[in-house]
Structures are given as C-alpha cells and as structure tokens.
C-alpha cells in the first residue's frame, strides 16, 4: 500500500508555507506511519483510489507473489489512463479549493481595509468613496490571502487614501455647489439702482431706450456730466439697462475685467475712485483684493489681524480666505504692530463668512470635513482674486501716485483736489467736485 501511495508523488500539504489551515490539508490523512519522506500525507480520495487499485490487482492475480502485485499496482497507478484522469481531477479539485480559500481570505482582508478607512471619522469617508478592490490597480495589494497587518496597511495607506479622498471630494463637490461662500466683492456689492422696466419712461422728452442709444456714443466725461442733470437720468444710467454703455467705456480705458455681480458703472467707479468707502471724504487707498477703498484713519476700523479673530467656526477656513499682507501697513503706522500680525482680514468679509458657515445645513456640516470645505472656499475665491490682481495691475499703471498713499496718509479735504488727469477724466467724474 505504501508503494502505491508513494507512486502518486504527492507532497505533504501541511508542510507547505501558508497551507497549514487550508481545506487541502484538513482533508488529508497520514498514511506514512512516521515516515520521514515528503509523501507521508495524501488526500482521502486519492488514498481510496490507491486501495481500490490494490484490490483490483489482487482479484485478477490471486496467486501472484506480493512483489509482482506491487509492481502491477505501481504500473497501474503510473501509467493507466483511468488513474491519470482520476489524479488530474483530484488536482483540479484541490486547486479550486485553494482559489476559493484565497478569495475568501482576500475578501476578508479587503473588508478589514474598508473598515479601517471608515474608522478615520475625521476624514468622513463613506462606502461610496472606497474603491473597488477587484480592480487591477488594487487587487495585487489587497488579495494576498493572509491576515492584514499594520505593516501591510502602511504600504498601501498613502496611495489608497489619495484615491479615496479624490472620490470623496468629487461626491462632496456636488453637495457644495449650491452653497457658494461669500467673497469680498459680494460683501461690498453696491448693486443696481433705477427702474427694472423702462417701458413707457420718458427722459428729456425721449423714450428711455432712445435716450440710452444716444448715450452709447458719449465719452466718459460727457456721460458723467449728463448723469448729473437730474434724478431720473441718474437712476436710468445706474440701472441694468445702462450696463452696455458703461461696459463700452470700461473696455475703452483698457480695463478688461469686472467683479462678478457688480454693475458695470459701480465697478468702473470703484476702479477710478480714490475716495474712502467708509468715511466718504478722505483720500483712500485702492485695494482690489478686499474690493474696498479705505483711508488711513479708517483702515484699522475695517481690517484686523487675521490670526487674532474670535470666530471659532471659520478658524479652519482662515488659510483659504482672502487676506492682505500686513508688513507695509504696519511699517507705515496704518495698523498698530501686534506680535504675530502678518495677515489682515476685512471685518465685514469675516462676518459674512461666519454667517455662511453657521447657516450651512446640518447634513452638510456633518458630511463635509474641514479640509474639503476649505478647498471649496479657496476654489470659489480664486476667480475673484484673478480679477482683483488684474484690476490692481491696471490701477497701478493708470494712477501710480496712489501707490505712495500708504507712506503719505494725506487728507484730501481742505487741500487742492488731486489731479485726475492721469486717469484721462475731469475732476467732476463720479461726483468729485473741484
């Protein structure tokens, strides 16, 4: 019997690394009788086939010597086609068992990885964000058929977290697209004035539409003078219907951008003015990054140290919000020096951001981590900053004298009005009287 079994040349599966607990090993029996060779364990189905082969030969050759029966059995096992088929079937079944076991172990490992990702509660992952581990990219890393160790997870943690975060952000961006954070321009948006419907309105004896067509041919100085003739004309030229008139003038002076949602006239007045928006009578510094014109006396009332605010809900968003570098303003005395004061923030903008965060739906606050919300704020404000930078470049080229206001801090009321010739407009533009 031993020779018949050894003729199958099957090694002990329990001695193969990683095979100790497999069904292949559990379904094997020891037929070696403490033999030291590798063929001392065999599948039960194979052992049964060997026994059947021995009985078959003994029945045919009842009077043969044991040595001859042994040779017959060995030859039958090694050469008979029936035995070859039986052996191949057994091998195939064993391999199938191994595949199922490896798949089960891999699935267990994948579930453990998914569980560890979901346990990172601060990242707010969901099952939707976790990739399909059956994909070729992840399968070699996940389906290894052994228990997951800290070392194994450490090897795949970096690329796996990156992929999961990308999927999470794509899902949350759909959720956040209806919640647009404020920008400095939206906070200080002057809006439109005048009638929304000009049907039937008569100005200077002309229908409003005809009057606006005539204004399309006027230059900036003439249009500014016409605007001051009466209240009806002023309101009409500040309405949405006059946007195309002011747009033509804006483009003619080389200013190719405009703050979103601002009227054409309001943005043109902002770009060309020097009057402080807060007090209304001092010469102010033109700062497109905060969509504001502010003088030295009002500066510290409107801007504050971004690192010293008490707005806890927006603390994670501060790095993504619009800020000013404090260096030049501290040096010139526009703001008192405070240790750690290197960034300034507009108070009304911070208040608007606080209001926006506090009024987000609870479901959004629960689902969106701070880093994703900060990225959403940064993405939304990027277009505003692009416009502000272009406006600042245009302004510095058109009115270089304004750049020295930080050092001068001169009040312009009571003094001779500043020269607007550098802007190619007269002193009466936008209500500035000589």
Averaged pLDDT for residues 61-69: 70
E strand segments, 26-166: 28-30, 41-43
Name the more confident of 231 and 406. Answer: 231
What confidence tens digit (pLDDT) does each residue in 365-423 have? Answer: 888 998 899 999 999 899 999 999 999 999 888 877 666 676 665 433 334 344 443 33
- Give the pLDDT score at 114: 86
- Give the pLDDT score at 3: 58
| Spatial CA neighbour of 281 closest among 114, 135, 111, 411 | 411
Under 8 Å between Cβ of 39 and 53 = no
- Decide: residue 124, CB within 10 A, 0-12 exposed, 13-18 middle, 19+ buried: middle
Under 8 Å between Cβ of 405 and 285 = yes
333 pLDDT band, cuts 50/70/90, is confident
Those residues whose C-beta lies under 8 Å from the C-beta of residue 360, and which sit 6 or more positions away, are 179
Averaged pLDDT for residues 42-70: 66
Averaged pLDDT for residues 248-256: 92
Residue 15 has pLDDT above 60, yes or no: no
Give the number of other Cβ atoms within 10 Å of residue 167's Cβ.
16
Total-model pTM? 0.65
Q: At what angle do helices 220-227 and 243-252 cross, to 10 degrees?
A: 150
283: DSSP letter: B
Measured distance CA(29)–CA(77) in Å, rounded: 19
| Spatial CA neighbour of 116 closest among 166, 150, 143, 159 | 150
**Residue percentage of the chain with pLDDT more than 70:** 67
User: CA quadruple 272, 277, 281, 286: dihedral positive or negative?
Assistant: negative
């Amino acid at each position: 019997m031993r020779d018949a079994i050894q003729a199958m040349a099957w090694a002990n599966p329990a001695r193969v690394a990683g095979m100790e607990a497999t069904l292949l090993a559990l379904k094997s029996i020891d037929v070696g009788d403490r033999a030291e060779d590798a063929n001392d364990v065999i599948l039960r189905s194979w052992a049964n086939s060997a026994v059947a082969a021995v009985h078959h030969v003994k029945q045919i050759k009842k009077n043969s010597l044991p040595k001859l029966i042994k040779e017959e059995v060995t030859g039958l096992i090694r050469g008979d086609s029936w035995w070859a088929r039986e052996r191949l079937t057994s091998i195939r079944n064993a391999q199938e068992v191994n595949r199922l076991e490896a798949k089960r172990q891999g699935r267990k490992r994948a579930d453990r990885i998914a569980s560890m990702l979901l346990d990172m509660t601060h990242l707010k992952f969901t099952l939707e964000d976790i990739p399909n581990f059956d994909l070729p990219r992840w399968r070699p890393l996940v389906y290894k058929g052994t228990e997951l160790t800290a070392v194994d997870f450490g090897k795949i943690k970096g690329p796996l977290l990156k992929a999961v975060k990308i999927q999470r952000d794509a899902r949350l961006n759909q959720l956040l697209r209806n919640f647009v954070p404020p920008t400095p321009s939206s906070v200080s948006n002057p809006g439109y004035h005048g009638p929304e419907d000009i049907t039937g309105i008569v100005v200077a004896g002309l229908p409003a539409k005809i009057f606006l067509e005539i204004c399309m041919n006027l230059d900036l100085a003439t249009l500014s003078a016409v605007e001051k003739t009466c209240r009806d004309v002023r309101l009409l030229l500040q309405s949405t219907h006059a946007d195309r008139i002011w747009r033509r003038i804006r483009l003619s002076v080389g200013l190719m951008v405009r703050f979103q949602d601002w009227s054409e006239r309001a943005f043109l007045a902002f770009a060309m003015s020097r009057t402080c928006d807060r007090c209304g009578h001092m010469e102010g510094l033109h700062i497109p990054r905060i969509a504001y014109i502010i003088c030295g006396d009002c500066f510290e009332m409107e801007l504050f140290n971004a690192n010293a605010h008490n707005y806890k809900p927006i603390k994670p968003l501060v790095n993504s919000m619009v800020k000013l570098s404090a260096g030049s303003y501290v040096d010139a005395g526009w703001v008192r020096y405070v240790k750690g004061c290197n960034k300034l923030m507009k108070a009304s903008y911070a208040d608007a951001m606080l209001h926006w965060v506090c009024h987000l739906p609870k479901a959004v606050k629960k689902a969106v981590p701070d880093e994703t919300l900060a990225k959403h704020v940064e993405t939304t404000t990027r277009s505003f900053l692009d416009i502000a930078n272009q406006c600042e470049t245009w302004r510095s080229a058109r009115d270089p004298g304004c750049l020295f206001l930080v050092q001068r801090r001169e009040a312009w009321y009571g003094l001779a009005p500043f020269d607007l010739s550098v802007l190619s407009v007269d002193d009466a533009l936008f209500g500035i009287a000589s």
